[in-house]
């Protein structure tokens, strides 16, 4: 079966670049949701813990359970809010507070302009009152930037909105509340950092999505995707490959089938504009559920060693390429 190599040295390099921005490894909260962006939840959690990362962010409690022993705190972005000594839960709506278990640790997400989820600014007073009434423990306040990876003033506008939020939290009498708003793009473009945490995801996996106009921080892809040969055959000129026979051999050629397909989460793409592997091999014809064809007789090929490059070929973003891969694909650390 196809397999993924995880480059530990690249991963630690990326974490170090973020630590240089925050001023401390202790301020990094590693985002491990969605199977650590396709890299492997438990595997990346262990590597991060060994590096000295103390805080993690996941989507569901079930994910948190798998890495519970590795971190001091785990923020759960979207699940039932229960009391737990290690877990804190995001409050996205006033209803979340009403449904929260008494004594649960919560972090108030405030909508400062992204308008996806979070408490509206004019709901803050009601939210503060409900937190007190429900008896939950407010340990954090957060927001999310909608355009931190774009050259516009919106990032600074949202930052100003969040400054107002932080002041109102203090005025409401809440203490020992950690503050965090920065994602990867925000921390990479920032010249100074004075918050308690940075929630960093795509950056520690090796991808800087900022335009080149910003100061460039060199990051290295952590994941490479490989496939193993199933079979080989010599095609004669004029013979066609795969479903629909989309590829026609222009000359005699050696073609091999490799064990990676859309059933593994690899994009089917467009056979008229074939994906070219990191070794410079175009996919011949249509991608099948469990296989691709390449002009090669190698026992093993590297299909992708940079998801950002692959994403450009597919007309998408690196996030979709990595998170789309099946969690069942075997992984090895190099």
| Helices and strands of the chain, counted as H and E runs | 10, 16
Q: Is 229 a catalytic residue?
A: no
CA distance 11 to 4: 14
Contact predicate 177/196, CB 8 Å: no
Catalytic pick from 21, 33, 105, 109? 33
Catalytic pick from 86, 233, 243, 312? 243
Q: Is 243 a catalytic residue?
A: yes
CA distance 219 to 205: 8
Cα angle 110, 207, 112; round to 5: 15
Q: Report whether 44 belongs to an annotated binding site.
A: no
DSSP states of 268-294:
---TTS--B-TTSPBP-S---SS-EEE
Which residues define the annotated binding site for substrate?
116, 289
Which residue numbers are catalytic? 33, 243
Which residues define the annotated binding site?
116, 289
């Amino acid at each position: 079966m196809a397999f993924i190599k995880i480059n530990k040295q690249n991963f630690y390099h990326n974490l170090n670049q973020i630590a240089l921005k925050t001023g401390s490894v202790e301020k990094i909260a590693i985002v491990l949701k969605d199977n650590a962006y396709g890299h492997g939840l438990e595997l990346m959690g262990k590597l991060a813990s060994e590096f000295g990362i103390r805080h993690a962010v996941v989507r569901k409690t079930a994910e948190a359970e798998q890495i519970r022993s590795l971190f001091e705190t785990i923020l759960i972005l979207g699940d039932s809010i229960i009391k737990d000594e290690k877990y804190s839960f995001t409050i996205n709506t006033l209803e979340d507070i009403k449904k929260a278990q008494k004594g649960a640790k919560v972090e108030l997400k405030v909508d400062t302009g992204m308008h996806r989820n979070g408490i509206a600014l004019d709901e803050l007073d009601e939210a503060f009152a409900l937190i007190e009434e429900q008896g939950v423990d407010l340990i954090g306040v957060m927001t999310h930037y909608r355009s931190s990876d774009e050259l516009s003033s919106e990032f600074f506008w949202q930052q100003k909105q969040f400054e107002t939020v932080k002041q109102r939290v203090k005025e409401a009498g809440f203490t020992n509340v950690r503050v965090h708003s920065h994602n990867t793009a925000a921390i990479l473009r920032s010249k100074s950092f004075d918050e308690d945490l940075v929630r960093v995801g795509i950056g520690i996996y090796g991808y800087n999505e900022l335009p080149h106009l910003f100061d460039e921080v060199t990051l290295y892809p952590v994941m490479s995707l490989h496939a193993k040969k199933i079979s080989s055959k010599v095609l004669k000129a004029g013979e066609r490959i795969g479903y629909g026979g989309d590829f026609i051999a222009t000359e005699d050629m050696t073609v091999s089938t490799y064990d990676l397909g859309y059933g593994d989460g690899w994009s089917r793409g467009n056979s008229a504009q074939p994906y070219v592997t990191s070794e410079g091999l175009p996919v011949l014809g249509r991608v099948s559920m469990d296989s691709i064809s390449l002009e090669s007789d190698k026992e093993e090929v590297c299909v992708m060693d940079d998801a950002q490059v692959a994403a450009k070929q597919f007309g998408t973003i690196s996030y979709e390429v990595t998170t789309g891969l099946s969690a069942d694909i075997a992984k090895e650390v190099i």
